[in-house]
Structures are given as C-alpha cells and as structure tokens.
Structure 1
Amino acid sequence: MATDARELPDVDFLFRLADAADAETLPRFRRQGAVDNKLEAAFDPVTEADREAERAIRAVIGETYPTHAILGEEHGAAGEGALRWVIDPIDGTRAFISGIPVWGTLIGLTVEGRARIGIMSQPFTGERFFADGSASYREDRTGRDRNRVRETTALEEATVFTTTPRLFQGRQRDNFEALEAKARLTRFGTDCYAFAMLAAGQVDLVVEAGLKPYDIVALIPIVEQAGGVITTFAGGRAEDGGDVIAAATPELHRAALEIMNR
C-alpha cells in the first residue's frame, strides 16, 4: 500500500536532524582531529565527526519514528519498511579534513524506494538546501528562497561539475573529456555542494561515477523539486547510486547522456 504524502515528516523535522548533525560536525571542523582510513589499498577517510553525527541523526529518528528503516554510511542498515532514511553524515570528508567548506550532511527519506524529501546542511556557511516533497529551497542567514534550476539547454553554454575526473576510467574517461571539451566551464572537487548549486541555478550539469545510495538520495528531491533532471547513465532512477547525471533541463540531460554513453 502506498504511503500518503501527508504522513511524511515536515521541514521542521529535517531541520532537527540537521541541527543534531551540525552540533557534532561544526565544532570538529578545522580542529585537526584524528582521521582513519577505511580502505587498505586506497585512502577513504572517516573521522569522529562522521561517526558521531550519524549517531546523533539516528537517535533523533529513532525517538520520533521508531518504525522507520535507516541506512547510514558509517553505521549500516537497520529496520525494514516502506519508509527509509538514508544518511551521509559528512559527504565530502576529504574536503572536511582539508578545511574546505564544500562538504555537507545529507539526510534523505525514501518512500517505497523513491526519494521524496531531503536536506543538505553546510553549517560553516550556514546554508541548508532542502526539499519538502513539492518544492526545493535554500535557507541561509539572510532568509529562505525557492530553488530553481537554470534554463540552459546547450552544452556549449553549460557549467559542468564533477568531484574529480579520476572517477572515470577507460571509455568513461574519454567520454567525460569529450563532454568537458564541449562545455563552457568545468570545475572539480565540490561533492554534494555541486548538486545544491545546480538546484540553486548556479551550475548546469553534475556528472559523477560510483555513487552509493547515501551519496545521492537526499540530493535527488532537492534537484527534482527545483525543476532539474537526475538519473543514472542508463536513464533510470538514481536512488541506488551508481553513475549519475544531474542536469538543469531535459535537453541538457539528453546531450550529456549521449556523450557519456558513447
């Protein structure tokens, strides 16, 4: 049975979750804390801030919605059901440990597998990008504005973001370089902040590879409810992660997909 949209948590609850995470991440930002590596053959950093922020988010969810399922990057999956919270306590841990404020806390809710609401909190800049199920917003110290994507339809006029071109291997790398060559401007290294900027009308295209669900679930409604398009390279829903393209317009999305799938 489908879950009625009126049963979804409201924006105030999303902000409660973000507040709980901010209380753990912000005091540790630029404080030279210990960094652990989750991989033996490469560098995949995790910090105390990652672990404690996720614990704080899960505690608030558990107190208010004890029947909801949860999937978090640091503490795994718990529970089952139609409603599942998907958490990345610090998306962009490399930026976090480098003192660069383009990381964010991602918290999204899926209903029967589809991302419906989500928030990206960046406490150092005081920004929150969020979607309430019908619209996408940006809030900072100056107030709240509705997000709207740009109307860019041509790659030649587009600003393209990706975390790093090293995400792409073999033919994908060649295809991304072809996309970059056609675009007006390409920038790197902004993780979740790039998707937020797309929703806010500052960026036209975000291309990423190898995402996990907790990297993208919160961002899907923020982009879609701002009028953007976000799918896998195969054109399907992106809730399970994978290789993902987000675009300001359907025309730009089609053009990017065509190049990335050559």
Structure 2
Amino acid sequence: MMIDATGQAELIRVAHLLADAARPETLMHFRAPALVADDKGDGAFDPVTVADRAAEQAMRTVLARERPDDAILGEEYGHKPGTTGLTWVLDPIDGTRGYISGTPTWGVLISVADKTGPKYGIIDQPYISERFAGGFGQATVTGPQGTRDLACRSGRDLADATVLTTFPEVGSKAEGRAFHAVASQAKLTRYGMDCYGYALLAAGQVDLVIEAGLNAYDIQAPIAVITAAGGIVTDWQGGPVHNGGRALAAATPALHAAAMEILQDSLHG
C-alpha cells in the first residue's frame, strides 16, 4: 500500500497519541503494592493486569475517534475489522512479568501495518520516559537525554557481539539449544529485556535479539523501529516474521547471516 506524505504524517501523529494515552494507564499501577496479576496462561504463568487492559482500552478509544475505519489487533481485546487496509497492532504492556516484578524493561508496543507488514512503530517505556519510533524514513528516540537519531551499530562480528533474549529457555528444547549455540559464540549474553531489548538494538547498544513463540503484537513495532534504524528482522529462515513465531533481529546483514546459519545448523543438524 502506498501512503503519501500527508498520510504518513497522520499515522505518525495518531501513533504518538496512542502512546500518550497508554502511558498514564501503565504508570498508575506500576510498582503499586496492591497490583494483582491474573493468570491467563495454559500450563505456564502468563500474567495480565488491570494496567494491560486499561492501556489497550485507552488506545482503542483514541482510534475510535481518530481512525475509526482502520482495523485493530490487540493482545487483550483481539481483532476489530476495518476497511482501509491498515491495522493497528497493539501490545499495551509487552513484558507483564517484568511489569509486576518492578523492572523498567516492559513497554507499550504500537504499530500500523498493511498486509505486507508494519510501516511505522513505537516502543514506549513510560517509566523511563523513553520513546523509540521508526518508519517512513524516520528513526528516533526521545527520552531523558533529549531526542536523537537511532542507528544500529556496525563493524562487529559474532565473537564481539552482545545477544539478548527474554527467557533463557527461549522456546522449545530444540529452539533453546539453537539459541545457546549462537550465544556460546558471542561475547556477552543477557536475559529478561522483553521489548526493551529490541529498542537497545535500534539504539546501537546490542547486536542481536533472538526469540521464539512470538505473536504479531510482540514483534511488529520492533520490526518497524529496528528496520528504520538500519537493522534487519526476520524469522529464523530469513523470511517475514510480522505474524509472529521465531524472530532473529540483527544490527547488520553479516551478523544476521552468521546467527541464522548457526540456528539452522542446530535445528536441523
């Protein structure tokens, strides 16, 4: 879908309105002693809180006013059909486990996509007041140190790379072995970053993020931000990953190729 400059500016404006609406709903309950997490998991703890639901509802209220004909896909309230060919993909709190633990590594994920994938995305961290945004030729972070351009770092091979994932077990046993095969060849491995790991990749702080078992709302905003910052995000076979699954995000094509080869060798060797 071709979107002209006026349309792009309008989508950017609305995306930031959504982030502005979600921020107070998440901060109202963050580190609150009375916060309760319900478990929506099936066999594994998958928490959801009043903040998740309130933040998504706040964003849907904005969209009902500003973009009523667009579709919506949200983690908490599902799919609303639209007629424009555009879908707003919302994760009101990516990293609810971190949220209920008090760590500032969760975030609000917002993207607008057509059938080919995300066109613009935001990773917003309300507690730190950092907002990473990318798409339509822009890639910026605004936070305590002001506003600056995002750019993935270059010039590192795998032996010097920092790799992130959220859970040490990654996914299935086979997926976990594949991840650790890559991590064993990297300089540094860190865990538990949720969406903030993707933001750090776009900001030039780390080199690889490797995850599995993702949903569309987990990965679409990171795809937009990292791609705008010069990185690459695919599935573990090098194909599109905007519908979820196994994600490989890399700062450079060379690092991406090196990591993907190891992942494939481990899975199929």
Structure-2-length-normalised TM-score: 0.94
C-alpha deviation, 1:143, in angstroms: 1.5
> Matched residue of 2:239: which SS?
coil
Tell me the equivalent position of 2:221: 218
Residues 26 and 124 of structure 1 are in contact (CA less than 8 Å); yes or no, is this contact kept in structure 2?
A: yes
1:57-136 mapped onto 2 (5 Å cutoff): 57-81=59-83, 82-136=85-139
C-alpha deviation, 1:117, in angstroms: 0.3
C-alpha deviation, 1:10, in angstroms: 4.3
Tell me the equivalent position of 2:3: 4
Tell me the equivalent position of 1:37: 39
Distance in 2 (CA, whole Å) between partners of 1:80 and 1:182 is: 46
Tell me the equivalent position of 1:25: 26
Tell me the equivalent position of 1:56: 58
> Matched residue of 1:217: which SS?
helix
Identical-pair percentage: 44
Tell me the equivalent position of 2:253: 250
Q: Judge which range, 224-233 or 161-170, deviates more.
A: 161-170
Distance in 2 (CA, whole Å) between partners of 1:48 and 1:172 is: 32
Q: Which amino acid aligns with 2:18?
A: L
Q: Judge which range, 202-211 or 148-157, deviates more.
A: 148-157
C-alpha deviation, 1:142, in angstroms: 2.9
Write the deviation string for residues 115-156 of structure 1: whole angstroms up to 9, x where unpaired. 100111111101000014112110013321000001044110
Distance in 2 (CA, whole Å) between partners of 1:131 and 1:176 is: 27
Distance in 1 (CA, whole Å) between partners of 2:177 and 2:155 is: 24
Tell me the equivalent position of 1:156: 159
Q: Which amino acid aligns with 1:38?
A: K
> Matched residue of 1:244: which SS?
strand
C-alpha deviation, 1:62, in angstroms: 1.3
C-alpha deviation, 1:234, in angstroms: 1.5
Residues 133 and 221 of structure 1 are in contact (CA less than 8 Å); yes or no, is this contact kept in structure 2?
A: no
Distance in 2 (CA, whole Å) between partners of 1:245 and 1:121 is: 21
Structure-1-length-normalised TM-score: 0.96
Residues 104 and 127 of structure 2 are in contact (CA less than 8 Å); yes or no, is this contact kept in structure 1?
A: yes
C-alpha deviation, 1:114, in angstroms: 1.6
> Matched residue of 2:25: which SS?
helix
C-alpha deviation, 1:169, in angstroms: 2.5
Q: Judge which range, 128-137 or 249-258, deviates more.
A: 128-137
C-alpha deviation, 1:211, in angstroms: 0.4
Q: Which amino acid aligns with 1:24?
A: E
Residues 152 and 204 of structure 1 are in contact (CA less than 8 Å); yes or no, is this contact kept in structure 2?
A: no
Residues 14 and 66 of structure 2 are in contact (CA less than 8 Å); yes or no, is this contact kept in structure 1?
A: no
Write the deviation string for residues 165-210 of structure 1: whole angstroms up to 9, x where unpaired. 2123233222222211100000000000000000000010000001
1:145 matched to 2:144: no
Gaps of 5+ in 1: none
Alignment root-mean-square deviation, CA:
1.2
Aligned positions, number: 261
